[in-house]
A and B are shown apart, each in its own frame.
Chain A
Amino acid sequence: MKKLKRLSFNTKCKLCLLPSLAGTLLFFVIPYFRVLYYSVIDNQFRRNFVFLDNYIETVQNEYFLLALLNSLILIAVCVPVLIILALLISLFLSFGIRKLKALRASFVLPMVIPTAGIVLIWRTVFTDTSTPLPIYLLFIWKNIGICIVLLTAALTAADRSVYEAAKLDGAGSWTLHRKITLPMIAPTILFSVLLSIVNSFRIFKESYLFYGTNYPPDHSYTLQYFMNNNFLRLDYQSLATSAVLTSAVVFLIVLCGIFIQRRYNR
């Protein structure tokens, strides 16, 4: 016990983190390396090394490329819209109509309503499936709640005295938010962007229920469909390879985000 007391604060923190790290290692890191291993063998029973053959096959697969493209379009279109909408609502909640504060909790509702229930309404409203719009809207509706919560929390934590000082110096509303609000909540915005990107790869369940098939229209065929269909056909190698490639894409996006943030902070 005495020895424990003698430990530095940092060491104690690390010790506290150990259970969580062990869980991460057990349930994420080790399985990830296993998936990496499966992506370089011919099948999981015979286990002959084929090195990059599976990767070459996957990146040449037209449906993988279609799925990747659709996933990236979903990110490019929906994430900016989602963040801008969430930011506007958060600003309204924090600085605008104060009575709306009572409604703050209602924005979390889409996160707790069962997906099947939402999709049922969606199918009634959107009968035209010639565009991916229903899925895009579903994604935004489903994710806007968590973004609003995060951004509102960041705005609430902002130091109000800075705003008072800027107002005394004659700054208008636009200048206040551009010069003060945005820089102050930039890390939260970045986090929301990254979270939304990660969630965009998880829109499969909603999409599957909406279209009711493993083979949705080409415009809505995302990476999750590609992986799920290969899983059902017992093609673990395609599944593993596309999972690794997807994680690489996500990793690159996160790296870019961190890079931008660091540049911005300087």
Chain B
Amino acid sequence: MKKFIVCLLAAALAVTSVSCSADKSEEEMTFEVDSDEFTYENITTGVGSLDVDENGTLYAVETYIIEKEPYDEVYDELHAYDLNGVHIKKLETGGAALNTVSYHDSTLYSIGCSNGEQTLSIYSYDLRTDEFSVFAKTSVSSSSTVVTNSVIADGKLWFTVEDFGRELEGCPYDNAVFTYQGTVLYSCDLQSGKTERSDIEYPVTVSTAADGSLCVYAVDENGTYFMTGEEKYYMDLGYVYAFAVISDKNDFIFTSSLKYDTLNIGTFGSDDYAEFRPNTRCSAKTLRYRGGCTFYTNSYGNGLDKAGAVQRIKNSSFVAGNRTINLISPGFIMASPFGCGYSMNSKELTDTEFALTVLSQSPDYDICLLNSKLGVSDSIRDKGTFYPLNEVEGVSEYLDKCFPYVKEAALTSDGEIWMLPIAVDIDVIMYNEALCEKYGLDFNNDMTLEELILNAKTANESDKSSGYAIHGYLLNTNLLLQYMRNNISFDTEEFRDLARYVKEEANYSEGEDYFKLYTDSMNQLYEGNSDGFLFSMLNDSLTQLEYGFSDKVRACPMPSVTSDGRSVATCVMLCVNPASDNLSSVLDYITALTEYLSANNSSMLFSEHDENVGQYVKDLYGIYSDASICFNISEDIYRQDYEAYLSGSTDLDGFITEADRKLSAYLNE
């Protein structure tokens, strides 16, 4: 009996030590890489799919195009690269069209088809013998489907295909964020080669869990969920396009419709997540995690212009494992700060909730997200309910880079940095220079309101083959903000003249057709049809910059209606709560954010910029350099009466009396 017990104990010990060493080896499997981020410069074409083995060797399906008549020739190649990006070899795949690549046990598996085949095949490439062969044939049509992902889990190759023939209406869950694309999940047994369709009704994509099992992102009548084993986690993360499980603690990286082109890290079962990598553009087939690193394709920025460039980042350098940073904002603010690897929780509060939270010195929020248009922003500054950022690393240097008027707005009269500006927006008019000239429209930096209206009338009288749009509400808001920048009363001749003219000529609710006309001209421009675009207005810098690709578009400021010729800028800013109980992390985050914003000037904040840009972007910089940020009196105070005046339900004197009464109370109470 004693012997039996001793044997049992020894066996238990052996099992424990083996499992411990297995855990250890899993923990230790972190690639020894020098840099935090790395670009595979030797990949010179688009990558359709990638996977990484345990040594960090990257296998990429590269697509090449040879321009030919009448049709271009497109073909795929499979290549291997080591951790330093050095090309190891081209893997001979016999000219097969490959959709995916998945690594398992010294073998690569690919879904694809050869010329003339009507169904998808599964190919294998034995890395020990360099033998490429058809591993299995499936009954899945190659012409009516698109392979969207493949992973290896539970000894099977799992792959998702978008089936064009599938009835989409049957999906029980559909909303503004999520629309089912008809994806079907298949598996192929790596022993028998038998392929079968999974019984998961509405799958979206898949990943391999840390224990080698399958993790599925799918949808049912209760919403979108992740499923590992028998466990289902319903999570509200928008439409998740791609994800990869990264640890046995249920952490995963993903990209979703929450914020396009951003890599996030989340945990199954929690709606909290951290944005940690911007400017990414990867699909389910081109996002992989291994050895502490994320491998993904990036078709944007970071100095890379070529489509499909593969990047690798060391997660530990970008993901901050601190407490969640809580943001509050008084109402909706379009711009939100990048997470910089910190888990962010944003709450949009009502005015009353916001005032109560701030005044109660609540330690539960860390940062206020504000806009200079909101009346409460300057109250935060004037009442001292902010943590001064003067000593926070990187903030002063960051402000020095900003336009002088931005820096000025960030300082109190005592020189304290009361907020961190994260975006500046100015209303601009975009116009197609050549077309405007053709139609006799004149847009310039000194354009008056009368000239703008004349342009609208001329455009309306044209053959309308090119669309234009005057955004009446935006224009009226801009005019009011311009006027209120230097006035505290509407009872002036200057305003009376402006108001009469606006009601007569620029009345978007009751006015003439030429002013009410709205077309999809911006969409025409976005889709590359610049001939369909005459002119339009845009109010946020991020969107304005998106049109930088067009060499036919120019920009000019909104017409100035006051003696102060500068444009009116609105500023989105962050203000740190001095009573936050998470202050140390918050200040670290602020430092990280200044670094990120300095490296990604995507919101026209900085006075120095790349000179190698088109005329349109140069125009924008010209406009943004000559502006001022005003902490305006909240529009809510007078807008309703202004609308009543425009619609004719009150006369000008009635509007001025009522608006001035409210302004007087607002300014003096």
Give the interface of A toward B (CB within 8 A).
Answer: 42-46, 61-64, 213, 215, 217-218, 221, 226, 229-236, 238
Chain B positions within 8 Å of A213 at CB level: 640, 662
Q: Nearest 4 pairs between A and B by C-beta? A: A63-B669, A215-B662, A234-B379, A233-B379
Contact between A64 and B383, CB atoms less than 8 A apart: no
Interface contact B355-A64, CB-CB below 8 Å:
no
Report the separation of the CA atoms of residues A214 and B359 in the bound assembly, to the nearest whole angstrom.
Answer: 19
Q: In the bound complex, what is the Cα–Cα distance between A45 and B577 (angstroms)?
A: 10
| A221 partner residues in chain B, CB cutoff 8 A | 665
- Report the Cα distance A65→B637, complex, angstroms: 22
B380: chain A residues at CB < 8 Å are 234
**B661/A44 in contact, CB under 8 A:** no
* Among B361, B640, B662, B668, contact of A62 (Cβ-Cβ < 8 Å): B668
B385 touches A234 (CB 8 A): yes
- The reply to whether A61 and B385 contact each other, CB–CB distance below 8 Å, is no
Does the CB pair A231–B355 fall under 8 Å?
yes
20 pairs of residues in contact across A and B, judged by CB atoms under 8 Å:
A43-B383, A44-B361, A44-B385, A45-B384, A45-B385, A45-B579, A63-B665, A213-B662, A229-B665, A231-B352, A231-B355, A232-B355, A234-B358, A234-B376, A234-B379, A234-B385, A235-B379, A235-B383, A236-B359, A238-B669
**Partner pick for B376 among A61, A64, A217, A233, CB 8 A cutoff:** A233
Pair A46/B384 contact, Cβ less than 8 Å: yes
Minimal Cβ-Cβ distance residue in B for A238: B669
Q: Which residues of B sit under 8 angstroms from A63, Cβ to Cβ?
A: 665, 668-669
CA distance A221 to B668 in the complex (A): 13
Q: Is the interface of B mostly helix, strand, loop or mixed?
A: helix
Q: How far is the CB of B601 from chain A (nearest CB, A)?
A: 32
Chain B residues with a Cβ closer than 8 Å to the other chain, count: 23
Q: From residue A245, how far is it (CB to closest CB) to chain B in Å? A: 14
User: Inside 8 A of A45's CB, which chain B residues have their CB?
Assistant: 361, 384-385, 578-579
- What residues of chain B lie closer than 8 Å to A238, measured between beta carbons? 669
Query: Are B668 and A44 touching (Cβ within 8 A)?
Result: no
Q: Mark B500-523, 1 if CB is under 8 A from A, else 0.
A: 000000000000000000000000
Query: Is the beta-carbon distance between B668 and A233 smaller than 8 angstroms?
Result: no
Instruction: Output the least CB separation between A260 and chain B (Å).
Output: 34
Residues of chain A within 8 A (CB-CB) of B361 are 44-45
A46 to B380, CA, bound (A): 13
Query: Which single member of B359, B662, B666, B669 contacts A234 (CB below 8 Å)?
Result: B359
> Does B375 sit within 8 A of A, measured CB to CB?
yes
Given contacts A63-B665, A232-B351, A236-B359, contact A43 B384 (CB under 8 A): yes
Interface set, chain B 339-362, CB cutoff 8 A to A: 351-352, 355, 358-359, 361
In the assembled complex, how far is the CB of residue A37 from the closest CB belonging to chain B, in whole angstroms?
A: 13
Please measure, in the bound complex, the distance between the C-alpha atom of A182 and the C-alpha atom of B154, giving whole angstroms.
Answer: 91
CB proximity of B575 to chain A, nearest CB, Å: 12
Contacts of B376 in A (CB 8 A): 232-234
Q: A43-B383, A61-B668, A235-B379 are in contact. List 4 more A-B contacts (CB 8 A).
A: A45-B384, A218-B661, A221-B665, A231-B359
| Smallest Cβ-Cβ distance to A44: which chain B residue | B361
Task: Give min CB distance, B665 to chain A, whole Å.
Answer: 5
Contacts of B385 in A (CB 8 A): 43-45, 234
Closest residue of chain A to B665 (Cβ to Cβ) is A215
Within 8 A of A (CB), among B249-277: none
Task: Tell which of A61, A62, A234 has the most Cβ of chain B within 10 Å.
Answer: A234
Contact call A215/B637, Cβ cutoff below 8 A:
yes
Closest residue of chain B to A228, judged by CB?
B352
Q: What per-residue 1/0 map shows which CB atoms of B630-669 lie under 8 Å from chain A?
A: 0000000100100000000000000000000110011011
Interface residues of B in 453-509 (CB under 8 A from A): none
Residues of B within 8 A of A46 (CB): 384
- Chain A residues, CB < 8 A from B637: 215
Tell me, in angstroms, the Cα distance from A232 to B669 when the chains sit together.
12
A226 near B355 with CB under 8 A, answer no
Q: Which of A44, A46, A221, A229 has the most CB of B within 10 A?
A: A44
- What 0/1 readout, one digit per residue, does chain B (374-402) give for beta carbons within 8 Å of chain A? 01100110011100000000000000000
Q: How far is the CA of A215 from the CA of B380 in the complex (A)?
A: 21
Least CB distance from A56 to B in Å reads 16
Decide if A233 touches B375 in the complex (CB within 8 Å).
Answer: yes
Question: In whole angstroms, what is the CA distance A42 to B384 when docked?
Answer: 10
Contacts of A233 in B (CB 8 A): 355, 375-376, 379
Contacts of B666 in A (CB 8 A): 215, 229
Q: In the complex, what distance in Å separates the CA atom of A230 from the CA atom of B375?
A: 12
Chain A residue numbers with a CB within 8 Å of B668 are 61-63
CB of B84 to closest CB in A, whole Å: 53
Residues of chain B with a CB closer than 8 A to A42's CB: 384
Chain B contacts of A64 at CB under 8 A? 669
Distance (whole angstroms) from the CB of A6 to the closest CB of chain B: 46
Instruction: Check A230–B669 contact: CB distance below 8 A.
Output: yes
Q: Is the CB of A234 within 8 A of B383?
A: yes
Q: Which of B358, B359, B666 has the most CB of A within 10 A?
A: B359
Is there contact, CB below 8 Å, between A44 and B359?
yes
User: Bound complex: CA of A218 vs CA of B661, how far in Å?
Assistant: 8
Rounded to whole Å, the gap between the CB of A49 and the closest CB of chain B is 15
Cβ distance B436 to chain A, nearest Cβ, rounded Å = 43
Most A CB within 10 A of own CB, among B358, B668, B669: B669
Q: Most B CB atoms within 10 A — which of A61, A230, A232, A238?
A: A232
* CB-nearest residue of chain B to A221: B665
Closest to B669 in A: A63
Once the chains bind, are B359 and A229 in contact (CB under 8 Å)? no
Which residues of the partner chain B approach A231 to less than 8 Å between Cβ atoms? 352, 355, 359
Name the B residues within 8 Å of A234 (CB-CB).
355, 358-359, 376, 379-380, 383, 385
B27 to chain A, nearest CB (A): 45
How many angstroms from the CA of A28 to the CA of B443 in the assembled complex? 64
Residue of A44, A217, A226, A236 near B669 (CB, 8 A) is A226
The winner among B383, B640, B668 for most chain A CB atoms within 10 A is B383
Most buried by A among B359, B384, B637, B665: B665
In the bound complex, residues from chain A placing their C-beta under 8 Å from that of B665 are: 63, 215, 221, 229
Q: In the assembled complex, how far is the CB of residue B489 from the closest CB belonging to chain A, in whole angstroms?
A: 15
Within the complex, the shortest CB–CB distance from A154 to chain B, in Å, comes to 39
Q: Which of A45, A217, A218, A238 has most chain B Cβ within 10 Å?
A: A45
| Residues of chain A contacted by B662 (CB below 8 angstroms) | 213, 215
**Nearest CB in chain B: distance from A148 CB, A:** 33
A234 vs B368: C-alpha distance when bound (angstroms): 13
Residue of B nearest to A218 (CB): B661
